[in-house]
Amino acid sequence: MDFVIIGLALVTFISTLIGGILALKFKKALPYFFAFAAGTLIAVTFFDILPESLEIAESVNFPIRNIMITIVAAFLFYSLLEKYFLIHHHDADEGHGHIMGPIGAGSLVVHSFLDGAAIGAAYRVDPAVGLVVALAVIFHDFTDGINTVTLMLKNKQKVKNATIFLLMDAIAPILGILATSLIGLSPEVLALILAAFAGEFIYIGAVNLLPETYKHPNWKTVFTTITGVVLIFALTSII
């Protein structure tokens, strides 16, 4: 592994940290971070994760219907999971964190790992393509850092816990890059994993985060949500 790919790994780490630190530092602006996170999560699902899942499935003649079933199943699973904890765990209202924070942030960590794997794999095939993929991931990881912290704080998790998940999210792309030479997933499994992410991120963005913006109904939150969507659209258009 040469110094270029090592440098790219370090930049992804820094990019994620910067995004998360901004979210931690400006907690008074959390409604706008909620709006931004909602826009980016929904956008990254439809502009990045879902197309990638469908493309992989089509390349190996894997039934698209299975992808759609997985998306719906993931959406319903996280919906039922949250409803369960809302009904049986009222401690969140007493200062203890809601379980959906670590679940959502943990999924972003796994997604960041896959982003790192994408950089490593693309770089091994063609260094020029790897650089393009890395640039998109680096900018995308900035929003991942924001989203990780935002999900934790929105679900009443402590700042310490949010910081831990932020560090995990920052390290994940590095591990993904390193793992490209050690770990292999079948295309079918990878397509289903991405489809599960799509269902979860649709749920988190549209059901968990977007309603928070309705508590602050002004043009700024609307603009921030649209900004998140446009930013992800621009980043995913680079590749």
pLDDT score for 132: 60
Confidence tier at 126 by pLDDT (50, 70, 90):
low
Confidence class for position 18, pLDDT limits 50, 70, 90: very high
**If DSSP codes are grouped into helix, strand and coil, which group holds residue 29?**
helix
Half-sphere exposure in the Cβ direction for 136 (13 Å, CA): 20
DSSP state of 211: H
Given a cut of 90, is residue 99 above it in pLDDT? Answer: no
- CA dist 78 and 83 (Å) reads 8
Using CA atoms, how far apart are residues 220 and 229, in angstroms rounded to an integer? Answer: 14
Between 87 and 49, residue with greater pLDDT: 49
Within 13 A of 99's CA, how many CA atoms are on the CB side? Answer: 14
Three-state DSSP class for 51? helix
Instruction: Pick 147 or 168 by higher pLDDT.
Output: 168
Is 34:157 a contact under the CB 8 Å cutoff?
no
Give CA–CA dist 151/155, Å, rounded: 6
Lowest mean pLDDT among 19-28, 113-122, 161-170, 230-239: 113-122
In the predicted model, what is the mean pLDDT of the chain?
81
Percentage of the chain with pLDDT > 70? 82
Residues 70 and 57 sit within 8 Å (Cβ to Cβ): no
| pLDDT tens profile 202-217 | 887 888 778 877 877 7
Are the beta carbons of 21 and 34 closer than 8 angstroms?
Answer: no
**Least reliable range by pLDDT among 102-111, 118-127, 225-234:** 118-127
pTM listed for this prediction = 0.66
Give yes or no for residue 12 having a pLDDT over 80: yes
**In the predicted model, what is the mean pLDDT of residues 195-207?**
84
For position 93, what pLDDT does the model report?
46
Distance of alpha carbon 86 from alpha carbon 234, whole angstroms: 36
Q: What's the pLDDT score for residue 164?
A: 92
pLDDT of residue 58: 95
pLDDT digit string, tens, across residues 137-146? 776 678 788 8
Cα–Cα distance for residue pair 213/95, rounded to 1 Å: 22
